[in-house]
Amino acid sequence: MPAGSGDRWPDEYERGRPGWPREAVELLDLSPAATVLDLGAGTGKLTRLLATVCGSVVAVEPADAMRRVLAALCPQAEARPGTAQAIPLPDGSVDAVFAAEAFHWFDDDRSLAEIARVLRPGGALALLWNLPGGPWEPPIAAVEALLHERLPKGDFDYDPLDLDGPRRADGEWRGSFAAAGFEPVRHTRMANPQSLDRDGLVAFFASMGWIADLDDDERLPLLDEVRSLLSDGAYQRLWTTHVYWTRLGGD
């Protein structure tokens, strides 16, 4: 979580961030009895979808504040503390592992080895990101101009007003999938529309890390100013969900 956000960020994340299309889960053709792991589960946006498709869902999330929201919103899943480098599950215990808006935080050989450890032979790994598929409608140029003016000094290697996706879209991941026993990674895209009310759109911007890190005496007036520039009752945006998936080799 953003270092300065305290416990406030999970609620803004949950309210403002887009969810996931059902097709992203159905892509793997999992059995209704499958046991799956949502790794880096956050507030459980994907966990809740997985719980409607699979028989057993374990959600691993290191941040206590995020995990509390997840447990409240998805009691049917088993929420556990843990990280991708130390997954709190036995060897060969899950049929699939999902990481939604998370893998870029733990893409390394140790995490891939841990994921391979908990997967059954032939088990699936799916990595999901939402990236912009179009602008906000109605347009919010005044809000975007305001926030660009307030950006902290420094260079960003992503759009600080938007979601950060896989920076290795060409497939050049830091970790070695092949070394961990995985088949070549495949990639597909699917449309994922989102609709928010005015406060939901404010929450979307509040969930940006650099805003969440601001002290309240700076952060809250900035968000009030954002709200004052939003005159419509509803805002829509088309996201493109990118799914990278592979399977673990084995018998």
Architecture per CATH, 9-132+163-193+239-247: 3-Layer(aba) Sandwich (3.40)
Measured CA distances, 211 to 184, 203, 246 (Å) = 38, 11, 35
> Is residue 82 predicted with pLDDT exceeding 90?
yes
Q: What is the pLDDT of residue 165?
A: 64
Given a cut of 70, whether residue 18 has pLDDT beyond it is: yes
Residue 10 has pLDDT above 80, yes or no: yes
What gap in Å lies between CA 38 and CA 20, rounded to an integer?
13
Domain boundaries, the chain: 9-132+163-193+239-247
How far apart CA 40 and CA 16 sit, in angstroms, is: 18
Cβ pair 222, 211 in contact under 8 A: yes
Residue 250 has pLDDT above 80, yes or no: no
Q: pLDDT tens digits for 179-200?
A: 999 999 999 999 999 999 999 9
The closest of 114, 90, 97 to 37, measured between CA atoms, is 97
Q: What number of H helices and E strands is found in the chain?
A: 10, 7
Whether the pTM exceeds 0.85: the reply is yes
Compute φ and ψ for 226, nearest 5 degrees.
-60, -45
Find residue 243's DSSP bridge partners. 128, 188
Model pLDDT for residues 193-225, shown as the tens digit of each residue: 999 999 999 999 999 988 998 888 999 999 999
Please report which helix (H) or strand (E) contains residue 247, including its range.
strand 234-247
- Amino acid identity for residue 246 in this structure: T
The mean of the pLDDT values for the chain is 91
Q: How confident is the model at residue 7 (pLDDT cuts 50, 70, 90)?
A: confident
- Output the DSSP codes for 86-112: B-SS-TT-EEEEEEES-HHHH-SHHHH
**pLDDT over 90 percentage in the chain:** 79
